[in-house]
Amino acid sequence: SRYSGTFVQNIAQFSKQLNLSLDDSSGVEDMMSVPKPVNNSLPRNLGDAKFTSWELWQKQEYSFKKIAHFRRAVPIKEQTVISYILDAARDGCEMNWNRFFEETGLTPEIASQIRLAIAKVGSRERLKPIKEELPENVILPL
């Protein structure tokens, strides 16, 4: 991931010089439009993948799905993207929580049900007992 932007730019440049067409679905335009994060501005323990996911979501307003496919021949899971973004928030990155809750489907009602289940179980250590206390329509993504 460290050199992918440069690599893609070189491919695009050589393809242009050789009059080779680039597949429009390849996302090359998107890949070149987002700047690579500068390592010295990363929060303490946040790696490039997490910071890039956060930056695409927070600053570029990409969807979780678009980030999961971004610069990847094989996409990662959207849940992984969500985890990366949450890790960035834990490390001090700015978050649009309203947008996050809306996109993950976490309504105030569901949040309240989760809090009640945690209180009943008495611990957040394990998700299974909490999940068992929740109605079937509540999905614990994390």
Alpha-carbon distance values, 70 to 12, 121, 125 (Å): 17, 39, 33
One domain, residues 48 and 100: yes
| Nearest partner of 56 among 92, 113, 96, judged by Cα | 96
One domain, residues 99 and 44: yes
The model's confidence at residue 39, banded by pLDDT at 50, 70 and 90, is very low
For residues 138 and 114, is the Cβ–Cβ distance under 8 A?
yes
Q: What is the pLDDT of residue 32?
A: 47
The model's confidence at residue 114, banded by pLDDT at 50, 70 and 90, is confident
Give the number of domains in the chain.
2
One domain, residues 41 and 96: yes
One domain, residues 8 and 65: no
Tokens representing residue 45 in the block? 């323990």
Answer yes or no: is 93 within a domain: yes
Answer yes or no: is 62 within a domain: yes
Q: Which structural domain range is residue 18 located in?
A: 1-33
One domain, residues 39 and 98: yes
């490390």: which residue's tokens?
Answer: 91
Q: What is the pLDDT of residue 23?
A: 60
Q: Could you give the CA distance from residue 78 to residue 127 in angstroms, rounded to a whole number?
A: 19
Answer yes or no: is 88 within a domain: yes
